[in-house]
Amino acid sequence: MDKKFLPLIISTAAASFMVNLDTYIINVSIPAIANDLNVSKADISWVIMSYNLMVVSLLLICGKLADRIGLKKLFVSGFVIFTASSLFCALSQNLSQLIISRIVQGFGASILYAMPQAMIGKFMPKEERGKGFGYSASAAALGIMLGSPISGLLTGLLSWHWIFLINVPLGIAIIALILSNNSLVESKIKLSKENFDLTGSFLSFFAILGLTFWLNRLNSVGFMNPAMTSILIVSLFLLIYFIYHCQKNSNALLDLNLLKNKYFSCANSAMFLISGFLAGNNFIMPFYLSEIKHLSEFKIGLLFIIYSASYMTFSLIYGKISKKYLPAKVSFLASFASVLSIIFFIVNIHNSNLVYTVMFFVLLGLSFSFFITSNNNYIMQQAKNNNEGAVAGLHRMTGRFGMLFGVVILEFLFSYGQKNDLNGFILSYCGGCVICLFATIFSYICINKQKNRT
């Protein structure tokens, strides 16, 4: 790989690392924050919720904005916002200050979540993108793996403020690296005489915000809750009107022609489904390990570290071999491997030997890492006419919605099937198997287009 791409690799990997680290680093420290600020569990939950809501709700807007002002400019702005807001989070003296700081941090995180995919797709040549996506995915897994341990260590030895302060020096270093890199040169962007689509931004933001909140709270408050039903109805109305608005405006926030592309839609659908099972498995598996395998929290954590480590390793391997294989074919094989992995787990779910569970974690790390990196690669090949930001924003948002969907579906199946200790788990993973099977079908459809191109 050409050394001129090294700053790009480092900065995009750092963005993926920091966003995922901050998603998971907060969880262990929440009790300490609640005690220090003297607030209830219900109130402190907004520290997590506000961040996640902003990340998802702004992805479309950030993607379109990047194509308008330039990916590099927005990427740097994302680091500035994220780093500054991390400092304000650390300095917060009450819950209101912390939530406001987390909202701003979520804005910066939304930029950093979308931009690595767009930056790699725009600045790296087609034959080298696989390596870029491999490093980015590996860094994301590292952030997930280290989030909880770092949180416990910093909160226990110092205070919860330090879980935010650690972002500051890293953020400053990456900003300096990007600004000093002259290889990230974009062609001069011709701004449209039409204004930025503020109406579409308003509609999409509140529609996605409402739907995200509804999915987050659905299983805890119930579908028939009047307030939740009202939020769903209003959000769906805003979403429908947003789509109508995009049909009538040439400069709309979302280019509906992307969705009319069968192969783009199939690849996006596959990501939605795989992300759904990934998040659902992360939710259900700890209960299985605790209630069926009777493992301690420490041992459960170690097993998830095995998964993250395997995901990191196989992501790097994909980067090494990505030149040799079509991304669509790798996505298909990886999604099919996830189906086989789940079947393997279901067949051995009664087995008391922990080796089978460890093998399942490694197999999932293999299939998910190869799928996500190759799917990202394939999606960015569909970008054209300087719309890398919009493509990445839509793709990232699809994945995040898939995660919410997966947790809701697998939690529902788990609760429905819980007539004895294992029925709920078996039903959940059967549902997960069906989800990944549909992802495999969507991935297979994409192969034909890449064969025709080559």
Burial label, 8 (beta-carbon count in 10 A; 0-12, 13-18, 19+): buried
Instruction: Tally helices (H) and strands (E) across the chain.
Output: 17, 0
- Cβ atoms of residues 340 and 332 within 8 Å: no
**Would you state the pLDDT for residue 449?**
61
Neighbours of 339 (CB within 10 A): 20
The residue behind tokens 């054209």 is 384
What is the average pLDDT across 21-30?
77
C-alpha gyration radius of the chain: 21
Tokens of 139: 């860094």
Element housing 128 (H / E) = none
Q: What mean pLDDT, rounded, does the chain reach? A: 82
SS3 label, residue 183: coil
Higher local confidence (pLDDT), 111 or 305: 111
Alpha-carbon span 89 to 97, nearest angstrom = 8
CATH of the domain spanning 254-454 = 1.20.1250.20
Q: Residue 299's closest CA among 307, 290, 310, 287?
A: 290
Least confident of 141-150, 255-264, 276-285: 141-150
Amino acid identity at 205: F
pLDDT-derived band at 183, boundaries 50, 70, 90: low
- Kindly state the percentage of the chain with pLDDT values over 90: 14
Output the CA torsion sign for 411, 216, 30, 272: positive
Distance from C-alpha of 389 to C-alpha of 387, rounded to nearest angstrom? 5
Region 75-93: what's the mean pLDDT? Answer: 91
According to the model, what pLDDT value does residue 417 have?
A: 64
How much is the average pLDDT of 84-106?
90
pLDDT: is 217 or 164 the higher one?
164
Is it the case that residue 365 has pLDDT exceeding 70? yes
Please say if the pLDDT value at position 336 is more than 90. yes
- What pLDDT does residue 454 have? 47
User: 383 versus 71: which is more confidently predicted?
Assistant: 71
The pLDDT-based confidence of 5 (bands split at 50, 70, 90) is confident
* pLDDT, mean of residues 235-252: 85
Instruction: Tell me the pLDDT band of 450, cut-offs 50, 70 and 90.
Output: low
Exposed, middle or buried by CB within 10 Å (0-12, 13-18, 19+), for 454?
Answer: exposed
Lowest mean pLDDT among 81-90, 144-153, 329-338: 144-153
pLDDT > 70 in the chain, percent: 91
* Per-residue confidence (pLDDT) for residue 397, from 0 to 100: 84
pLDDT in tens, 379-417: 888 777 677 788 888 888 888 888 888 887 887 788 776
What is the structure's pLDDT at 420? 57
The model's pLDDT over 221-235, given as tens digits with 9 standing for 90+, comes to 666 778 878 888 898
| Token duo for residue 20 | 């995922």
Within this chain, domains 1-181 and 254-454 share the same CATH topology = yes
For residue 378, CA distances in Å to 42, 398, 449 come to 41, 15, 11
Cβ atoms of 392 and 114 closer than 8 Å: yes
pLDDT tens, residue by residue, 291-300: 888 877 677 7
Its pTM stands at 0.83
How far is 188 from 181, CA to CA, in rounded Å?
A: 17
Total Cβ atoms within 10 A of residue 125? 10
Q: So what's the architecture of 1-181 in CATH?
A: Up-down Bundle (1.20)
188 pLDDT above the threshold of 50: no
Q: How far is CA 133 from CA 9, 152, 240, 315, 332, in A?
A: 9, 30, 33, 8, 17
Whether the CB-CB separation of 29 and 160 falls below 8 Å is answered with yes
The pLDDT confidence band at residue 184, using thresholds 50, 70 and 90, is: low
What integer pLDDT is reported at residue 451 of this predicted model?
52
DSSP code at position 193: S
Tell me the C-alpha distance between 454 and 446, whole Å. Answer: 13
Q: What pLDDT, on a 0 to 100 scale, did the predictor assign at position 407? A: 81
- Whether the per-residue pLDDT at 194 is higher than 90: the answer is no
Structure tokens at 143: 């952030």
| Residue 220: predicted pLDDT | 67
Measure the CA–CA gap between 177 and 121, rounded to whole angstroms: 19
Q: Give the C-alpha separation, 373 to 136, whole Å.
A: 9
| Over residues 329-336, mean pLDDT | 91
Residues across the chain: 454
If one compares 260 and 81, the residue with the highest pLDDT of the two is 81
Give residue 335's pLDDT: 92
Q: What per-residue confidence (pLDDT) applies to 128?
A: 78
What is the pLDDT, as a whole number, of residue 137? 82
Q: Quote the CA–CA distance of 189 and 179 in Å, as a whole number.
A: 19
Instruction: Enumerate the domain spans of the chain.
Output: 1-181, 198-252, 254-454
Q: What is the largest CA-CA distance in the chain?
A: 66
Position 337 pLDDT exceeds 60? yes
Q: Looking up tokens 């590996």, which residue turns up?
A: 138
Alpha helices in 322-353 (DSSP H): 327-347
Nearest to 258 by CA among 169, 155, 382, 138: 382
- Digit-coded pLDDT (tens) for 252-279: 888 788 788 888 889 989 999 998 898 8
